[in-house]
Structure 1
Amino acid sequence: MAFFLETLFGGLMVGMLYALVALGFVLIFKASGVFNFAQGAMVLFSALAMARFSEWIPQWLGIAPGLLGNLLAILVALALMVVVAWLIERLALRHLVNQEPITLLMATLGIAYLLDGLGPLIFGSAVYSIDVGMPKDPIFVLGGLFEGGLLVSQEDLYAAGIATLLVIGLAVFFQKTKTGRALRAVADDHQAAQSIGIPLSRIWVIVWSVAGGVALVVGIIWGSKLGVQFSLSLVALKALPVVILGGLTSIPGAIVGGLIIGVGEKLSEVYIGPMVGGGIETWFAYGLALAFLLVRPQGLFGDKIIDRV
């Protein structure tokens, strides 16, 4: 029982990180109606910025590396992602207003390749580390219920707590603020939103900035766990089944989908993997997403599409 709970808990922690990546996709889709293939590149770019600024800023200011340097690096990296969002809107999206979704989709592909190239060009292509003080040593919990307790990663606990706070903040932002309601209006119909005075260009800058902030948080967490390297941009591929499962328009769906994928991967790899030779963790998410596409294409929480004639 203890081993099962350890596996389950590990899956939940990984699932929260998948949900964070999926949130970036959901945010852009809710505001523009297009799937943002640049989200993985934004994660890599922001993680590279954070890793390098945490090295450079203490040198520039003559301070010891530590908490102050990390906080300044986060602020500078966040400001950089806002500038990137402004440039994306000014140079690309502004010229594609009211175009077909496939046009915007191809634009995000171009943005992805551009960021994948600019990141290593500006910050370097080596493998960098990010240390924001999250403890990495595992701890034992619930020793009174299970002999020896359950082995839990402290880093995963901190990451899950950060992810939970971010998700709650985004949910409140979308549901309770005037800007959040404007974002949902733009997602429903660009032309109708413009006709009632919602500035589309400003809305797109805001949503891409928020998505950039989410990408920065994801980049810091995954960079702390795995190191900052090109494979970070591939982490976003694991978010594709998550948004298919939860629904492209639903923030709660991204969370639930991430948890289901994370737990399903871990449990299937541990309990079914040995019977089939292993490797289930690499394709389980995509198999589950394919099954959902066949029976419920809009996902668990996505809006059902109804065509009236």
Structure 2
Amino acid sequence: MGFFLETLFGGLMVGMLYSLIALGFVLIYKASGVFNFAQGAMVLFAALAMARFAEWFPRLLGFESLLLANLLAFIAAMGVMVIVAWLIERLALSKLVNQEHITLLMATLGITYFLDGLGQTLFGNDIYKIDVGMPKDPMMLFEGTFEGGLLVSKEDLIAAGVAAALVLALSLFFQKTSTGRALRAVADDHQAAQSIGIPLNRIWVIVWSVAGFAALVAGIIWGSKLGVQFSLSLVALKALPVVILGGLTSVPGAIIGGLLIGVGEKLSEIYLGPMLGGGIEIWFAYVLALVFLLVRPQGLFGEKIIDRV
């Protein structure tokens, strides 16, 4: 029982981190109606900025405080992501207003490769460490409930709490603020949104900045666990099946989809791996997403599109 619960809990923790990355996809899609393939590159770029700034600031400013270094690095990295958002809007999206979705999709592919190359140019291509002071040692829970208790990583608990708080904040942002409602209006129809006075360029800068913030938080957590390396953008691609499963327009769907995939791949690897062979974790999420595309393409919480002719 204890081993099963440990596996289940580990899947939930990983799923919450998948959800955090998937939020960036959902945010961009809700505001522009395009699937943002650059989100993985944004996670990597933000994590590289955070790691390198945390390394540079103590040397440049002459202090040794880890907390101050991380705080300054976070502010600077967030500033970089806002600048990236502004440049994306100014140089790419503003030129593609009211274009076909496939045009915007190809633009995000171009942004992906640009950010990958720019990250290497500015920050280097080594493996970097992010140390934000999260404890690495495990802890035992429910020792009195069942034999052996439950071995849980403190780092996973903190990461899941941060991810849950960000998900809640973004949900409230979309539902309760005028800017959030404007984002949904822009996603529905660019021209109609402009006709009622919604500034399209400002909305796109805001949503790409918010997606950059989500990418930064995800990059810090994943970088703390795995180190900041260019395989991090491949980890971020695990969020693609999450948004397909949960629905491209649903923030709660990103959460549920991430949890389902995180738990599913952990349990399948442990209990089906001995029968089917190893490596189930690698393909489980994509096979599940394929099944959903065949039977429910809008996902669990996505909006079903009906075209009347």
* TM-score range for the pair, normalised by the shorter chain length: over 0.9
How many residue pairs end up in the alignment? 309
Give the match's secondary structure for 1:230: coil
Q: Is the CA contact (8 Å cut-off) linking 1:248 and 1:298 kept in structure 2?
A: yes
Q: Distance in 2 between matches of 1:203 and 1:104?
A: 16
Q: Distance in 1 between matches of 2:65 and 2:120?
A: 23
Give the match's secondary structure for 2:157: helix
Q: C-alpha displacement at 1:147, in angstroms? A: 1.8
TM-score (norm 1): 0.99
Q: Distance in 2 between matches of 1:24 and 1:299?
A: 17
Deviations 1:176-221 (A, max 9, x none): 0000000000011111000000000000000000000000001000
Which sections of structure 1, spanning at least 5 residues, go unmatched? none
Map 1:142-153 onto structure 2 (within 5 A): 142-153=142-153
1:269 corresponds to 2:308: no
TM-score (norm 2): 0.99
Q: Distance in 2 between matches of 1:286 and 1:179?
A: 34
Map 1:3-82 onto structure 2 (within 5 A): 3-82=3-82
Q: Distance in 1 between matches of 2:236 and 2:279?
A: 19
Q: Is the CA contact (8 Å cut-off) linking 2:2 and 2:148 kept in structure 1?
A: no
Q: Is the CA contact (8 Å cut-off) linking 1:54 and 1:65 kept in structure 2?
A: no
Which sections of structure 2, spanning at least 5 residues, go unmatched? none
Match of 2:164 in 1: 164
Map 1:253-292 onto structure 2 (within 5 A): 253-292=253-292
Match of 1:140 in 2: 140
Map 1:63-212 onto structure 2 (within 5 A): 63-212=63-212
1:293 alignment partner AA:
L
Q: Distance in 2 between matches of 1:110 and 1:283?
A: 26
Q: Could you say what the CA RMSD is over the residues aligned between the two structures, in angstroms?
A: 0.6
Match of 1:246 in 2: 246
Q: Distance in 2 between matches of 1:71 and 1:148?
A: 39
Q: C-alpha displacement at 1:20, in angstroms? A: 0.6
Q: C-alpha displacement at 1:148, in angstroms? A: 2.5
Q: C-alpha displacement at 1:65, in angstroms? A: 3.9
1:23 alignment partner AA:
L
Deviations 1:84-134 (A, max 9, x none): 000100111110000000110010000000000000110111100000011
Q: Distance in 2 between matches of 1:38 and 1:65?
A: 34
Q: Distance in 2 between matches of 1:276 and 1:126?
A: 36
Q: Distance in 2 between matches of 1:202 and 1:290?
A: 36
2:66 alignment partner AA:
G
Give the match's secondary structure for 1:139: strand
